[in-house]
Chains A and B, each alone.
Chain A
Amino acid sequence: MERIPILKMGEYLLVTIQVDMHDRLALTLQDDLTSQIVKHNAHGVLIDISALEMVDSFIGRMLGSIASMARLLDAETVVVGMQPSVAITLVELGLSLKGIRTALDVEKGMASLRGALSDSKRNGASNSQH
């Protein structure tokens, strides 16, 4: 069965979504990510959506679910590379993606995760939300 590949990058996991996902594929991704976070004791998840030309409420909910589940497993999530036309459409749609960190690209996403991690180490508490 087709799956979206998950790459391990140090203590982070990188997911690059390059296909127009149907619902089952999206749900499989959620499951895969959860098990991979646990398996590698990952502290951060980067979801690269720079190839996505559309994000609807279903995908928005998927991103939110991933972020929530990751947080329960002590990992922070950042969504990177959202295209301007997608962002404009999401604003019009009324989808806020609250509680999800975003960054312009993978490099800035990692910097954001590093900042989040050092914050949490300093505070000794769980990661704060966006």
Chain B
Amino acid sequence: MVHRILSTEQHQIRNSEDVVEVRQLVRKKAISLGFGLVDQTKMVTASSELARNTLDYGGGGTASIELVENGRRSGLRVIFEDQGPGIPDVDLALTDGFTSGNGLGLGLGGAKRLADEFEISSKPGAGTRVSILRWK
């Protein structure tokens, strides 16, 4: 999807305090876009899931928070990137309840359900990139 990027802000994900800061930043951006409370919470929660994945499974990485525009619509996109081991079977990972380690799964399926648009690219040895977007 080709969207026009109006602004972008990046944040490191190195530890669990960063995860908190990322979701607070997402909340702030969502509010500035005029998102309703439920839509804000959905983006913040999805971001929390993905940020934690980046930390726990990706060995740390970055979150890029973008205000985007497509014609008359404006939206919020967050892109999570890491240089970790990658996900061998993405489709399987998107299935609910899938567990590769301890815990209730990668939260990918949940994050996908909370967003309007969801993109993931991951290959073993090549890291992972997940993008979620919600339109106002």
Report if A85-B27 is in contact (Cβ < 8 Å); known contacts: A20-B20, A22-B16, A93-B113: no
What is the count of residue pairs linking A and B with beta-carbon distances less than 8 angstroms? 62
In the complex, A61→B104 CA distance in Å? 8
* Chain B residue at smallest Cβ distance from A60: B104
Interface of chain A: mostly helix, strand, loop or mixed? helix
Would B17 and A56 count as touching, CB distance under 8 A? no
In the complex, whether B84 has a CB less than 8 A from a CB of chain A is no
A54: contacting residue among B17, B23, B96, CB under 8 A = B23
Would A85 and B41 count as touching, CB distance under 8 A? yes
Report if A54-B113 is in contact (Cβ < 8 Å); known contacts: A61-B103, A86-B41: no
In the complex, whether B114 has a CB less than 8 A from a CB of chain A is yes
A57: contacting residue among B17, B27, B107, CB under 8 A = B107
Would A85 and B37 count as touching, CB distance under 8 A? yes
Report if A58-B114 is in contact (Cβ < 8 Å); known contacts: A20-B24, A22-B20: no
In the complex, whether A89 has a CB less than 8 A from a CB of chain B is yes
In the complex, whether B12 has a CB less than 8 A from a CB of chain A is no
Report the contact-size class of chain A (Cβ under 8 Å from the partner).
Answer: 20 to 34
Interface of chain B: mostly helix, strand, loop or mixed? helix
Which residues on B sit within 8 Å (CB–CB) of A61?
103-104
Which residues on B sit within 8 Å (CB–CB) of A55?
45
In the complex, whether A94 has a CB less than 8 A from a CB of chain B is yes
Which residues on A sit within 8 Å (CB–CB) of B107?
56-57
Q: Which residues of B contact A (CB under 8 A)?
A: 16-17, 19-20, 23-24, 27, 37-38, 40-42, 44-45, 48-49, 52, 96, 103-104, 107, 109-110, 113-114
- The 6 sampled A-B contact pairs (Cβ below 8 Å) are A22-B20, A54-B48, A55-B45, A57-B107, A89-B114, A93-B49
Q: Which residues of A contact B (CB under 8 A)?
A: 20-24, 53-58, 61, 84-86, 88-89, 92-95
Closest 4 CB pairs of A and B: A23-B16, A93-B110, A22-B16, A56-B48
